[in-house]
Amino acid sequence: MIKRHIKKLVENLSTNNYKTLNTIELSRRNLLNNYSIFKNNNPRFSIIPVLKANAYGHGIVQVAKILEDTDCPMLAVDGYFEASKIKDMTNKRILVLGYILPDNFSLLDTKKCSFVIQDLESMKKMNSLGKPVNVHIEINTGMNRLGFQPEELSQTLALISSLEYINLEGVMTHLADADNEVDDSYTFNQVALFDKELDKIISNGFNPKYIHIAQTAGSVKVKSRHANSMRLGIGLYGLNPLSINDKKYINLSELKPVLSFESTLIKKINLKKGDRVSYSGIFTAPKDMTIGVLPLGYYEGIPRQLSNKGFVKHRDIFLPITGRVCMNHIMISLEGVDLSVGDKINIISNNNQDKNSVEQICQINNLFNYSLVTCLAESTKRVIVT
């Protein structure tokens, strides 16, 4: 036992001292700023930060650590494997949103976690554990993905009333069209249906602690008679899910991106006019020039669509990506800069005005901001900065 402990300690020290070529930096200040924006706009609401998909690519452990400094009552994840990564290092309760195989119910930490239950059989099997379990039920109001149908609600409530160990801690739905830039009628219809079903739940004697309908986009659009909580996803990380043409876009304009991505120049290559670069030779040197090699590519989350189109940054100078983005490498023009191997290069900026910010990358290349950040490789080191 002692030998294993010492070995693990040495391994951790070795990992911490190892200087990585690529690092994702998370701004504690920006993340707490974003949380405060939603808290101030919804002062009577409980904010439930969503940390699924490795905290939208930002790093679930690091984000959970930062959120210890907030008053949020719980953190939401998709799968129990995500809950397992943080449940022993956070004081927050954890809401598991995704489906769990009933065969795994006996393995769950029901003291620290709450669970969204999607069907009656799972409810019965959860009850058979013989210990208290806090559950949230989802009502399908128009997403048509998960949740109980409104016509199933009476049967669901009757079952919960009959189960000794099941506590209805929360009720939720999911908005399907909250980012619609021209017409919010579908969203408003979902809210109306949700409130109607909540009336039934309350009239049946239930008093759920958390009633949540809105995510980031919905938080600036919907007004529910019953909602007292919201699930804060992409906005926590400083990314705006609304189109600039949406009249509510301005409500989220003060969000600050949390993530920046730094890499290292590992090689310089002097090209002659006519030399081709990378797969398929889609870049041909127009003159004698110097390019640099960076140790990251589409595995690390750099979209292949940025081949010959994207930019990275050194100080205030933007450097074009030259040639095809490879699995673990990209090449960049070094025109106009005097760089040496080992110098740091900014891959993704947390300044929205920069060509290599998430917002600009996605606007220029018609990419989806959620996808860009969630595809950042989990193997890349994440560090918290001020």
Same domain, 138 and 181: yes
What pTM, to 2 d.p., does this model score? 0.92
Which runs of consecutive H residues, i.e. helices, occur in the chain?
A: 2-17, 28-41, 52-56, 60-67, 80-86, 120-127, 153-162, 185-203, 358-365, 369-374
Domain with 361 in it:
259-385
252, 273, 293 - which closes a domain: 252
Same domain, 33 and 102: yes
Same domain, 351 and 302: yes
Mean pLDDT for the stretch of residues 342-356: 97
Q: Is residue 7 part of a domain?
A: no
Query: For residues 134 and 169, is the Cβ–Cβ distance under 8 A?
Result: yes
Query: For residues 232 and 49, is the Cβ–Cβ distance under 8 A?
Result: yes
Same domain, 205 and 325: no
State the CATH number of the domain containing residue 34.
3.20.20.10
Residue 309 has pLDDT above 60, yes or no: yes
Residue 361 has pLDDT above 90, yes or no: yes
Same domain, 235 and 318: no
Same domain, 166 and 139: yes
Q: Is residue 20 part of a domain?
A: no
Mean pLDDT of the chain: 95
Report the amino acid identity of residue 64: A
Same domain, 176 and 208: yes
Same domain, 296 and 279: yes
Q: Is residue 10 part of a domain?
A: no
C-alpha distances (whole Å) from 282 to each of 289, 325, 375 are 16, 11, 25
Q: Is residue 103 part of a domain?
A: yes
252, 274, 293 - which closes a domain: 252
Q: Is residue 5 part of a domain?
A: no
Residue 13 has pLDDT above 60, yes or no: no
Mean pLDDT for the stretch of residues 320-331: 98
Reading across the β-sheet that carries 23-27, which strands appear in turn?
Answer: 267-271, 289-294, 330-333, 317-322, 311-314, 344-348, 259-264, 23-27, 381-385
Q: Is residue 21 part of a domain?
A: no
- pLDDT band for 97, please (50, 70, 90 cuts): very high
Residue 107 has pLDDT above 90, yes or no: yes
Same domain, 238 and 142: yes
State the CATH number of the domain containing residue 294.
2.40.37.10
Residue 136 has pLDDT above 70, yes or no: yes
DSSP state of 34: H
Same domain, 131 and 234: yes
Q: Of 71, 32, 79, 73, give the one whose Cα is nearest residue 53.
A: 79
Least confident of 13-27, 126-140, 296-310, 321-335: 13-27
Residue 267 has pLDDT above 70, yes or no: yes
Q: Is residue 242 part of a domain?
A: yes
219, 252, 285 - which closes a domain: 252
The count of domains in the chain is: 2
Same domain, 275 and 360: yes
Q: Is residue 19 part of a domain?
A: no
What pLDDT was estimated at residue 235?
98
Query: For residues 130 and 110, is the Cβ–Cβ distance under 8 A?
Result: no
Report the amino acid identity of residue 265: L
Quote the CA–CA distance of 72 and 160 in Å, as a whole number.
Answer: 27
Same domain, 316 and 338: yes
Mean pLDDT for the stretch of residues 144-149: 96
